[in-house]
Amino acid sequence: MQLTKVILNNIGAYKGVHEIDLSVSPHNKNVVLFGGENGAGKTTLLNSIRIALFGAFSYGFVTDNDKYYKHIYSLLNKSAITAGETHYQIIIEFNEVENFKKNLYRFVRSWNNNNGNVKESFAIMRNGQYLSEVDKEAYHSRLKEAVPPELFNMCLFDGEEISRIVNDNKLSDYLKASARVLFNLHLFESLEDDLTQYLKQAQAEKQLSQDEEAVYKLDEKILNLYKDYENNLSLDREINDRIEELNEKVIQLKKQFDLNGGLIKEERESLQTKINDIEFVRKQNSESVKDFIATTLPLYINRELLNEAAIQIEDEHSFELHDQLSDKVTTNKLDSILSEIELDSSSSKVDKLRERLLQLVAQPDIDLIHRASFSQRSEVQAILNKLEKINIQSYVNSIEENQRLLDEAKILRKKIEVNDSTHDFREIISEIEDHSQELANLQQELIEIEVARDALSEQIGITEKERDAKKEQLVAVEKNVNSFVMASKVQDLSKKFRVQQLQKKLQHVQIEATNMLNELMRKKDYVTAIKIDPETFDVTLYNSNQHEILKDRLSSGEKEILLLSIVWAMFKCSRIKLPFIFDTLLGRLDKTHKQTVLSKLIPICSEQVIILSTDSEIDQHHYEIIEPFISKEYTLDFVISEESVSIHPHYFELTHEEVKQ
C-alpha cells in the first residue's frame, strides 16, 4: 500500500477543502516532509488518514455507533459547525498491487451534521469506478483483515507514545502485540478460538465420550488457569504502574520541598545555576590537571634526561650512518666508478676520496645504547617539542582557581541550606512518608503476587501433562478418527506452528535489528547481539564478550533507537509493505542520533515515509541531510485570523537555494 493523496473538508483545523499530494517518486525519494508548530494540524492529518481507511474500526468499534459519532463530531471544524455547514469529508487515495496489477483506490468518507446528529456515508472507488455495496464490503473486510488497525498503528511512530513505551519499560508488551499481527499469528489464534467454541458446543450437545469430556474439562481448567495467570500479570503491571506513579509524586514533592525554600524561585534557581557552573569549571580544571599529571608530568620532570637521550639517539644515528657508508663505499667501488667516468683512479686518490666522503658523516666516540628506529627517533623528538610548549603556570593557576571556586560554591550552598532550614515543610514531609509507606506495602504485595504466579505456572504444567496423557489414551482407544480428535490435533498443530514460526521470525529479526542498531547508535559495535525471548519478548543485549548489557544503562535516546531498530527489522522480516509515518519522533534524540536516523533509517525503512516535524526537530542542518530523499514537502501554518490551516509547498522557510548556501 502506498498513499497518494488525502483531501480534508472541514476537518479539525482544516476549514474548507484542503488537498495534499502524498505521492513519492522516483523510488530513491521516498519522503514526504511536513513541518508545523504545535497545534498546526499535524496530528489531525494522521487521525484523518486512519479514520478514512477504517472508520469506526479505528476506534475499536465493530460498527458505527453513538460513541464513534461523538469522536467524529469532536473532529469536525468548529467554525464550519458555527457557520451551519452540514457537509464534512475525508478522502484518501492509495495504490495497492493485486494479482500483479496496480490498482488505485479512493475511499470517500462523508458526514452530514444536523444539529449535532452526525451520520456517515462511505464509498470506495477502484480505478475511477464506484464499487457496488457487495464489492465494497468484500474489499473493505479484506483490507481490515490484511491490514488491521493494529498493524497500521504500528507504522505510526508517535514521538510521545514511543517515549512512553521507552520510559515505562513497555518494550516487551509492545513487541509482543506487534509480532502477533506482523507475523499473522493472530489468524492462527482465531482458528484455535473457533475450534475451542466447536468443542464447547459438542460438549453442550453431549456428543463427547467420557474420555473426550475429561479432556475437554482439562482444557477448560487450563484455559481458566491461564486467565488467572494473565490476571496475575495484569495486577502486577497495575501495581508497577502505581509504584511508578508514587515515585513520580515523591520526586515532585521533593522538588517542591527543594524549590520553595523561602528564597523566591528565580533567586534560588540563580544560586543553583551558579553552583552548577562552578562545578562544571572545576570539573574541567580537575580533568585537565589529572590528565597532565597522569601523562605529561613525569616526562616534564625528566625532560633534561629525555633531552640527553635524544642527543644520544642522534649520535647513534650518525654512528650507524658512518658505518653503513663505510661498508658501502669501498675502494674497489670507487676505483670502478672513477674508471667508468674516465678520471684518475690511482690508489692514493681513491683512498683520499673515500676518506673525504666518510668525513661528511662524523663518527662520534660513543657507546651504542638505544639503536632506535626512525619512528622511535621521531616519537622522542615529538615529545620534546610538546614539552617545550607546556606552560606549567597554567596548571598552577587551574589548581588555585579550583580552590577559589570551591570556597565560592560552599558560600552559595550555605545560603541555600540556611534558607531551607528556616521553613516548615511538615506537610510535604508527611506526604512523602505516606507515599513511601505505600510503596513499601506495594513492594510486599508484588512479592506475594510473584509467589502466586509461580504456583499458577506449576499448576498449569501439571494440568497440561494430565491433559496430554488423556489425549494420548483417547487417540489410542479410538480406532476411527472422530471430529473431536481431529479438532484437538489441529489445535495442537496450530499452537506448535505458531511457536516455531515465531522463533524462526525472531531469529531473523535479531540479526537485522542488531545490524540496524549499530548503524544508528553513536557507540559503534557497542551491542553485538540482540536476543528476544519468544515467550516473554524480553529483550537482552550483549557486547562483544557475550556479556549482558543492562538496558537501564542506555539513555532514553538509545532506548528509542533500539525500539526503532527492532520494529523496522520486524517489518522487514514480515515483508509487509506499508507507509511509515513519524510524528515528532526526533525531539528526544541528540544531534548524532538524529543524523543517523535521517541518513540511515529513513531512506530504507519503507517505500513511503511521511514525517511530521517541528522546526526544532529538523532544522536547517538536519534538513540538508534528508533533502536528497524528499519527494514532497509542506508547511502547515494555523492562521488565527482565518481559524484555519494554510498549507505551503515548502518546509518552513528552508528553500533549496538557502540550504545550498
Task: Give the pLDDT confidence of 420-439 residue by residue, as tens digits.
Answer: 565 555 567 678 778 888 88
Q: Measured between alpha carbons, how far is 292 from 304 in angstroms, rounded to an integer?
A: 18
> Which neighbouring-strand residues pair with 303?
none
Place of cell 525471548: 533
Average pLDDT, integer, range 50-54: 91
Q: Measured between alpha carbons, how far is 442 from 242 in angstroms, rounded to an integer?
A: 8
Higher pLDDT, 18 or 214: 18
Average pLDDT, integer, range 381-401: 84
Q: Measured between alpha carbons, how far is 118 from 72 in angstroms, rounded to an integer?
A: 8
Q: What is the pTM of this model?
A: 0.56
Evaluate if residue 659 carries a pLDDT over 60: no
Amino acid identity, residue 248?
E
Average pLDDT, integer, range 258-263: 54
Q: Measured between alpha carbons, how far is 631 from 32 in angstroms, rounded to an integer?
A: 6
pLDDT of residue 346: 66
Closest CA to 41 of 642, 555, 637, 656: 637
Q: Measured between alpha carbons, how far is 637 from 633 in angstroms, rounded to an integer?
A: 13
Evaluate if residue 661 carries a pLDDT over 50: no
pLDDT tens, position by position, 316-338? 777 777 767 777 777 777 777 77
β-pairing verdict for 609-613 and 31-36 = parallel
pLDDT tens, position by position, 81-113? 988 888 999 999 999 988 888 999 999 999 998
Evaluate if residue 64 carries a pLDDT over 80: yes
> Which neighbouring-strand residues pair with 108?
91, 123
Evaluate if residue 241 carries a pLDDT over 80: yes
CB 481 within 8 A of CB 533: no
Mean pLDDT of the chain: 82
Helices of type H across 422-543: 426-477, 483-520
Q: Measured between alpha carbons, how far is 249 from 243 in angstroms, rounded to an integer?
A: 10
CB 1 within 8 A of CB 147: yes
The pLDDT-based confidence of 345 (bands split at 50, 70, 90) is: low
Phi/psi for 239 (5° steps) reads: -65, -40
Evaluate if residue 163 carries a pLDDT over 70: yes
Higher pLDDT, 510 or 491: 510
CA 127 from chain center: how many Å?
Answer: 39
Q: Measured between alpha carbons, how far is 361 from 496 in angstroms, rounded to an integer?
A: 85
Closest CA to 53 of 155, 128, 192, 134: 155
Query: Cα–Cα distances in Å, from 475 out to 199, 267, 478?
Result: 16, 82, 5
Share of the chain above pLDDT 90, in %: 19
CB atoms within 10 A of CB 171: 19
Average pLDDT, integer, range 572-591: 84
Evaluate if residue 637 carries a pLDDT over 70: yes
> Which neighbouring-strand residues pair with 95?
2, 104
pLDDT of residue 267: 65
The pLDDT-based confidence of 481 (bands split at 50, 70, 90) is: very low
Average pLDDT, integer, range 401-426: 75
The pLDDT-based confidence of 374 (bands split at 50, 70, 90) is: confident
The pLDDT-based confidence of 213 (bands split at 50, 70, 90) is: confident
Average pLDDT, integer, range 67-87: 90
SS3 state at 76: strand
Query: Cα–Cα distances in Å, from 429 out to 255, 423, 436?
Result: 12, 12, 10
Q: Looking at residue 263, what DSSP letter applies?
A: S
Closest CA to 473 of 237, 137, 146, 211: 211
Closest CA to 33 of 52, 44, 20, 14: 20
C-alpha cell at 80: 464550519
Domains delineated in the chain: 2-155+578-660 (3.40.50.300), 165-252+438-566 (no CATH), 272-416 (no CATH)
Average pLDDT, integer, range 385-400: 85
pLDDT tens, position by position, 517-575? 988 887 777 888 999 988 888 889 998 888 888 887 888 888 888 888 998 998 888 88
pLDDT of residue 495: 74
pLDDT of residue 71: 92
Share of the chain above pLDDT 70, in %: 86
pLDDT of residue 33: 93
β-pairing verdict for 156-158 and 580-583 = parallel
pLDDT of residue 434: 85
pLDDT of residue 658: 45
User: If you count them, how many residues does the chain have?
Assistant: 661
β-pairing verdict for 630-639 and 644-648 = antiparallel
Number of alpha carbons in the 13 Å side-chain half-sphere of residue 257: 17
Q: Looking at residue 182, what DSSP letter applies?
A: H
The pLDDT-based confidence of 377 (bands split at 50, 70, 90) is: confident
CB 488 within 8 A of CB 215: yes
Closest CA to 94 of 106, 82, 102: 106
